[in-house]
Structure 1
Amino acid sequence: MSIKQKAIQGVIWSVIQNWGSQAGSLIVFLILARLLTPQAFGLIGLANVFLAFMQIFLEQGFSQALIQRQEIDPEELDTAFWTHVLSGLLLTIISFFLAGFVSNIFEQPKLIPILQCFSFLFFINSLSHVHKAILSREFAFKIMAVRTIIGIIIGGTVGIVMALSGFGVWSLVSQQFIYEAVEVFIIWGAIDWRPKFRFSFQHLRNLLNFGSSILALKFLNFCNKRTDNLLIGYFLGEVALGYYMIAYRVLEVMTQLLVSTTKQVALPTFSRLQTEPERFRQAFYQVTLFTSLIAFPTFFGMITLTKELVISLFGERWLPSVPVMQVLAFAGILNAISFFNGSVFIAIGKPSWKLWLSLLNAVLNLIACLVAVQWGIVGVALAYVISSYIAFPVSQWAISKLIHVPLLTYLQQFRSPLIGSVVMVSGILIAKHFMVDLINEKVLILVGTAIGTIIYGLTIRLVDPKLFKDLLELLKMIRSPSKIKMSN
């Protein structure tokens, strides 16, 4: 099977995984949001800040190193596995005893048992990192889709039952814990590879040489993604963080649905094409363009219908999340056209490039959020978006130097999706103006979405007929991949 065939099949199963898992997790999330308080979500948000920080030292960049390798030594897999397991065990012990110290920082004694429970996840997760890397190398996204969806169903069911029974924040703790445990169990049952009791310090040094940049990168990504949560939780409290988390969670779900599906396949695909610059460049153009075709109208549409979405999905008590969600949607638009930059850096063995860019992002984000926290959660959201847009040109300059993608050429490909989205928003706002007092929020969302979809499709067809045709061809490939003849 050619790389292109593997990539397309990978995209299909990645679509199933991401859409299936996100649909399932969104349903669970919506139910729990109606059953639990902002304080409960805020406490979990604080716990996850600590969890994400410690997780950096578990992953160490070994998975990316294994995926990126053209050829891999079985002993290298064993070395990576046992290093992960020992790291997971050590992090579990450290995290368990640090729980009291962390809770004192935020003045939240309820965090202690939550953090102690979550500490065991480090050891559990360490058992599957190498297995996931093997599956990614083999484009075995079917297995990954199954384990994710089953984990969400079981974990979500337990979480909802516990919430209905009055367990409060522990509903969210149990949901997350069971989800992780089920995933590990399924992966071990689905893959034949088993670690042998052998260890190579030479392979460890090679992995560390590659992974050191990834480790630093993950720390900087933590600063980029968690600085806002950390500052809100510390200065504004767990209730404010709960409102912010709901808005940010919606952005995450939409990003997973619209962008991460393709990114999951992008790294192994780019890695196989690293010796073919022209094909690499064309693959990069195509993946970013087709992602923007879907992501642009989605995030623009969300901005116009946010209030109706929040009331319909979460209830009126979550209305303070509306302006935060609208601001963060602009970050979603930017993410859509820069999401694959990291895969490019790693695929061609230049993780240090991404490291320096992440350092810039982290510094900008920290400064912006520190200044903006005095204006509440909306101010923090706006600071996050502004810092992202300031760093964007630098990131694209690096890409242009690395794979010879001219910045102007890269940006011009988004002209049609941007025009279509702006025209679409205008149509939705006009329709909303005349219908807002006549129909309820749910109907308004359906009508607005239908009107927006029609306007967007017609606009793309008008301003760029070839792009419209390519989009239809892509949809046909996804529906019937076996009927498409592809070559290497």
Structure 2
Amino acid sequence: MAGVKKKFAVGSLWFFLGQGVSNIASFIIFAILARLLGPVDFGIVAFASVFIELSRSVALAGLPTALIKDKVWDEDAASTAFWGNIGFSIVLALAVGGGLGYALTGTYGENLDVILAALSVSLVIDAMRATHEAKLQRDFQFKNLAKRTALATTGAGIIGVLLAFAGFGVWALVINRIANSVIQTIIIWQATPWRPRWTFHRDKFVAMFKFGIHLGASAVFGQINRRVPELLAGLIISPVAVGFYKVGGRMVNILFDLTITPMQRTAIAGFSRLEGEEALVRGYRGVTRAVSLVAFPAFYGMAALGRDLVILLFGERWAESGVIMSALALFGGAAAVSYFVQPLLAAAGKTHLASMRSLLTLLSNIIVCLCTAPFGTVVLAIGFAARAYVGVIPTLTLLKKAVGLPPSRVLADVFPTFFAAVIMGLTVYGLRYYVLQDHDRLLSLAMLVPLGAVIYAAVLALFFRKYMRVVWQDLEPLAGPALAKLKGRRPAA
């Protein structure tokens, strides 16, 4: 248990570092492109990308996750998964890049078919590295995965910015995405010596597919869940609305990558090494406590200052995106509870419950977004965030049914950080819009961000000391060795 916990923590750290470097580069590049290009360019590529992301989840079909979960690496099974993913991706690339693009062009723009055709190439490129990524993940080789993310984002971003300066317009964004896939695939192939064999075992494919079909369906439902607002904004309002929504959600996505995604990506490998339902429950609770410690203050702080952040970074023409950002940032609080349920169910071998949960979440998201989209992107974002909190109720019920974890324990695990973050967020919001409303944006942010951190820490220190000792036990495998090294280097008195 301790060894797995340490590997999980170190893997999360490497993923965090990779995402950190990647997000810094990505953010700088995104800000430059947002000032060079307009909502129309961003909107049409974001709208097309919705279909690409959905197709990518279908193409993988849960096969890489089946390889990660197995205790022993099976060469024949890995090769079978590789060729299966390649086959799925080629079929979907032809369907999306050809048929769907042609069907949508007349209504949503004459360039949509060509853009979809170009972006669909990335489906095949991404499938070429899926099995290699599974190999690295199951071996906890997250350092190589981190390097891939950072280098691909930086290299592809530079290409996109140069093309935007050269006047390529929307194609700067398209080529940027394709270049990212190519660079990632090259790095991953170099990072692992594994190579696919020219073999395909039908029985192994069927076994993996039966396991992965639920995870694949869950991934598709999850992608649709995240993309429903963008999809319906494009279909009901306009692709330009997708551009505003995309910019509003950009920094929220970066914050996800820094606070929740690192542990979520390592969770399936970590949970799968735990023996017994009780160990899985302890692992889930520990991860949830650790993530909520950072996620709640980060997201609620962003919600309080969203409009200032967007205008300061992207310009006044994106002001509408600031309100969207504030609404979407509230979603992050619910994610601290719900984002580790899927890896937990997969590790427990209850993938049918994972797919059922994703389907129910998808249906509720569609209903909410259909009702709110006609009123504009801001109302759409508010509805999407509100649905996430309502969705915590069935999630807690499912945890009780699947692994016997009482809802009261989950709520107790996150209440201290939730309470402290709410106090912090309300205080920061009140100061900004009722005390500092006439002050310079940059100066206000420089004062309020550190003040918010102090308020959050003070509330936890005053009211939840016992809770913080429990969280320290969760984080000790990661922080302990680092502190020990620092003490060892301290000169003797």
TM class, shorter-length: over 0.9
Residues 479 and 32 of structure 1, relative CA distance in 2, 3 Å threshold: farther
Matched to 1:457, the amino acid is A
- Which residue of structure 1 lines up, in the alignment, with residue 449 of structure 2? 449
- Which residue of structure 2 lines up, in the alignment, with residue 196 of structure 1? 197
Bigger Cα displacement from structure 2, 200-209 vs 246-255: 246-255
In the comparison of the two structures, how many residue pairs are matched?
484
What TM-score does the superposition give when structure 2 sets the normalisation length? 0.93
Bigger Cα displacement from structure 2, 418-427 vs 310-319: 418-427
- Which residue of structure 1 lines up, in the alignment, with residue 418 of structure 2? 418
Equivalent pair of 2:40/2:243 in contact (CA under 8 Å): yes
The answer as to 2:81 corresponding to 1:80 is yes
- Which residue of structure 1 lines up, in the alignment, with residue 222 of structure 2? 221
C-alpha displacement of 1:452: 0.5
Alignment of 1:41-440 (within 5 A): 41-98=42-99, 100-104=101-105, 106-273=107-274, 275-433=275-433, 436-437=436-437, 439-440=439-440
Equivalent pair of 2:5/2:477 in contact (CA under 8 Å): no
| Cα distance in 2, alignment partners of residues 426 and 82 from structure 1 | 52
Matched to 1:284, the amino acid is Y
Alignment of 1:13-28 (within 5 A): 13-28=14-29
C-alpha displacement of 1:345: 0.8
Equivalent pair of 1:21/1:148 in contact (CA under 8 Å): yes
| Cα distance in 1, alignment partners of residues 363 and 473 from structure 2 | 42
| Cα distance in 2, alignment partners of residues 108 and 146 from structure 1 | 37
| Cα distance in 2, alignment partners of residues 345 and 243 from structure 1 | 35
Matched to 1:404, the amino acid is G
Equivalent pair of 1:8/1:481 in contact (CA under 8 Å): no
| Cα distance in 1, alignment partners of residues 477 and 212 from structure 2 | 36
Residues 234 and 27 of structure 1, relative CA distance in 2, 3 Å threshold: same
Name the SS for the 1:413 alignment partner: helix
The answer as to 2:24 corresponding to 1:32 is no
Equivalent pair of 1:360/1:391 in contact (CA under 8 Å): no
Residues 277 and 56 of structure 1, relative CA distance in 2, 3 Å threshold: closer
- Which residue of structure 1 lines up, in the alignment, with residue 490 of structure 2? none
| Cα distance in 2, alignment partners of residues 92 and 412 from structure 1 | 46
Residues 328 and 96 of structure 1, relative CA distance in 2, 3 Å threshold: closer
| Cα distance in 1, alignment partners of residues 458 and 162 from structure 2 | 45
Equivalent pair of 1:233/1:241 in contact (CA under 8 Å): yes
Name the SS for the 1:128 alignment partner: helix
Q: Deviations over 1:267-301 (max 9, x none)?
A: 1111111x233332222111101111111111111
Q: Which runs of 5+ in 2 are unaligned?
A: 486-493
Q: Which runs of 5+ in 1 are unaligned?
A: none
C-alpha displacement of 1:476: 6.8
Equivalent pair of 1:255/1:332 in contact (CA under 8 Å): yes
Residues 477 and 210 of structure 1, relative CA distance in 2, 3 Å threshold: closer
Name the SS for the 2:195 alignment partner: coil
C-alpha displacement of 1:474: 6.5
Matched to 1:127, the amino acid is M
Q: Deviations over 1:349-377 (max 9, x none)?
A: 11110111111111111111112221111
Name the SS for the 1:2 alignment partner: helix
Residues 48 and 70 of structure 1, relative CA distance in 2, 3 Å threshold: same
C-alpha displacement of 1:99: 5.3
What TM-score does the superposition give when structure 1 sets the normalisation length? 0.94
Identical aligned residues as a percent: 29
Matched to 2:184, the amino acid is E
Bigger Cα displacement from structure 2, 80-89 vs 172-181: 80-89
Equivalent pair of 1:289/1:414 in contact (CA under 8 Å): yes
Q: Deviations over 1:180-237 (max 9, x none)?
A: 1000001111111111112211101101111111222233223312222121111211
| Cα distance in 2, alignment partners of residues 411 and 28 from structure 1 | 39
Equivalent pair of 2:58/2:217 in contact (CA under 8 Å): no
Matched to 2:416, the amino acid is S
The answer as to 2:468 corresponding to 1:463 is no
C-alpha displacement of 1:421: 1.3
| Cα distance in 2, alignment partners of residues 389 and 438 from structure 1 | 34
Name the SS for the 1:308 alignment partner: helix
Bigger Cα displacement from structure 2, 39-48 vs 465-474: 465-474
Equivalent pair of 1:435/1:444 in contact (CA under 8 Å): no
| Cα distance in 2, alignment partners of residues 208 and 269 from structure 1 | 22
